[in-house]
A and B are shown apart, each in its own frame.
Chain A
């Protein structure tokens, strides 16, 4: 079977499964609408460590341990790890996973990292290069504010288009070992730049990339939005959502009825003061692990298109007047358990 589909997609010939997943989040996420779904909620924002960066590393270490426990495998069973985060040089992942003592491929996809990690992990398993791969990512509100915006104690007003970085780490074990959830295909995302320069409106910056990947997925697999129970983006938020629906409409696809966004699911913006919604690598990853995959595992959903999005910028590029391009990585997940 030709695994190359259309212009950007891959359909895996070998069976690739999500053996299990785990999510660890902070207090605010635990108090949100999905609070009960997470495997672990840690109230201490420092996770017992001395700095925000170490706290984020600790979160990754906890998520990795949890997912191995849930899958009933040991660290040695993991052939390779695909992981990344938002911090410079991905230090949260590097220091968080050093004790795992397994080979690591560090990634940067901004908030699309979990999509990238799962895509590459699935390729490794499908290619027969690994039986078990760990794909994971994280973000931490405080470490991201410090890196990209302002020290926590500094007073600044966030506009309604801004998002709240999720403190959370999500991890998946991708494997050739059978489970109820299969990764049947991926649509690899390309950088899409509509020239927007407003880093306080990430949803608007990333929506074009999501539209590009989703419509390419439709074209490559010859599908319509109705062929998916849900199409789920990572963190487009309230504004990005509306823009995506409009951009998809212009391409001839109506996704309004079955489209969800992780950033809008994880927080209740009416009571939690999160403006446009949640964001960060941990947003899509923890919602996937805690809420989306369980719905597939139970058979409530049969097939979903998971499309986390990232904004590819740095503080330097922003101050030098460059725009904020986006990228979106598509993963097709299907229920392959027994018929109900």
Chain B
């Protein structure tokens, strides 16, 4: 016996494994994500509405909204509560800005023991790295497309 070399046989085994491996109920997961994600966005809207009622302009209100949500997420991460929310709702808690905050706060806590430079300094963006890199890259790409369209007088 031993390992499988034939690619078809490997696929066969993979298909068999997929058959016997239970998966989370997708519909239930989506409902949970939708509700929690929605509630987090509702919270953001409440903050925005309050800021506007205090006569702040759009940008300042937006900044306060982001800051508040990030602050809440970081505190919940430190109290080991944010993970429980993600475990329950998945993308609902990971996709909003609160998820990004958790992904930076978590390594900041974990890598303290390895020092401020090589621990926290080098590893704090371990998880958020792709978001930062590809976020900036896509922004640049969109900016390039916008500039070209402007040159062509399309926009």
- A interface, CB within 8 angstroms of B: 50-51, 146, 150-161, 190-196, 198, 201, 204, 208, 211-212, 215-216, 239, 242-243, 246, 251, 325
Task: With A151-B111, A152-B106, A194-B3 as known contacts, state yes or no: A239 contacts B20, CB within 8 Å.
Answer: yes
Q: Is the CB of B83 within 8 A of A153?
A: yes
Q: Is the CB of A153 within 8 A of B3?
A: no
B113 within 8 A of A: yes
Residues in A neighbouring B80, C-beta threshold 8 A: 152-153
**Best-surrounded residue of A151, A190, A212 (most CB of chain B within 10 A):** A151
Q: Is the CB of A50 within 8 A of B113?
A: yes
Q: Is the CB of B14 within 8 A of A201?
A: no
The size of the chain B interface, using a CB distance under 8 A, is 38
Q: Is the CB of A154 within 8 A of B14?
A: no
Q: Is the CB of A153 within 8 A of B23?
A: no
Residues in A neighbouring B111, C-beta threshold 8 A: 151
Residues in A neighbouring B113, C-beta threshold 8 A: 50-51
What is the CA–CA distance of A198 and B10 in the complex, to the nearest angstrom?
13
Identify A160's interface contact among B10, B14, B22, B77, CB under 8 A. Answer: B22
What is the CA–CA distance of A212 and B106 in the complex, to the nearest angstrom?
41
Identify A195's interface contact among B13, B86, B99, CB under 8 A. Answer: B13
What is the CA–CA distance of A194 and B10 in the complex, to the nearest angstrom?
6
> Could you list 14 further interchain pairs (A-B, Cβ under 8 angstroms) beyond the known A161-B22, A201-B21, A246-B16?
A153-B105, A153-B109, A155-B83, A155-B106, A156-B94, A157-B87, A193-B4, A194-B4, A195-B10, A198-B17, A208-B3, A212-B1, A239-B17, A239-B21
What is the CA–CA distance of A272 and B93 in the complex, to the nearest angstrom?
23
What is the CA–CA distance of A196 and B86 in the complex, to the nearest angstrom?
27
Residues in B neighbouring A153, C-beta threshold 8 A: 77-78, 80, 82-83, 102, 105-106, 109-110
Residues in B neighbouring A51, C-beta threshold 8 A: 113
- B interface, CB within 8 angstroms of A: 1-4, 7, 10, 13-14, 16-17, 20-24, 77-78, 80, 82-83, 85-87, 90, 93-94, 99, 102-103, 105-107, 109-111, 113, 126-127
What is the CA–CA distance of A152 and B110 in the complex, to the nearest angstrom?
7
Q: Is the interface of B mostly helix, strand, loop or mixed?
A: helix
Residues in B neighbouring A151, C-beta threshold 8 A: 106-107, 109-111, 126-127
| Shortest Cβ gap from B126 to chain A (Å) | 8
> In chain B, what residue has the closest Cβ to A146?
B110
Q: Is the CB of B14 within 8 A of A155?
A: no
Q: Is the CB of B13 within 8 A of A239?
A: no
Q: Is the CB of B3 within 8 A of A154?
A: no
A-B contact count (CB 8 A): 108
Q: Is the CB of A155 within 8 A of B10?
A: no
| Shortest Cβ gap from B19 to chain A (Å) | 10
What is the CA–CA distance of A212 and B1 in the complex, to the nearest angstrom?
7
The 19 listed contacts between A and B (C-beta, < 8 Å) are A151-B110, A151-B126, A152-B80, A152-B83, A153-B77, A153-B82, A155-B87, A156-B86, A157-B24, A157-B87, A193-B4, A195-B4, A195-B10, A195-B14, A196-B10, A196-B17, A212-B1, A239-B20, A239-B22
Q: Is the CB of B83 within 8 A of A192?
A: no
| Shortest Cβ gap from B27 to chain A (Å) | 15
| Shortest Cβ gap from A294 to chain B (Å) | 33
> In chain A, what residue has the closest Cβ to B3?
A193
Identify A154's interface contact among B1, B4, B85, B102, CB under 8 A. Answer: B102
| Shortest Cβ gap from A97 to chain B (Å) | 21
> In chain A, what residue has the closest Cβ to B80?
A153
| Shortest Cβ gap from A317 to chain B (Å) | 15
Identify A155's interface contact among B4, B22, B24, B94, CB under 8 A. Answer: B94
Residues in B neighbouring A146, C-beta threshold 8 A: 110
Q: Is the CB of A155 within 8 A of B86?
A: yes
Residues in B neighbouring A196, C-beta threshold 8 A: 10, 13-14, 17
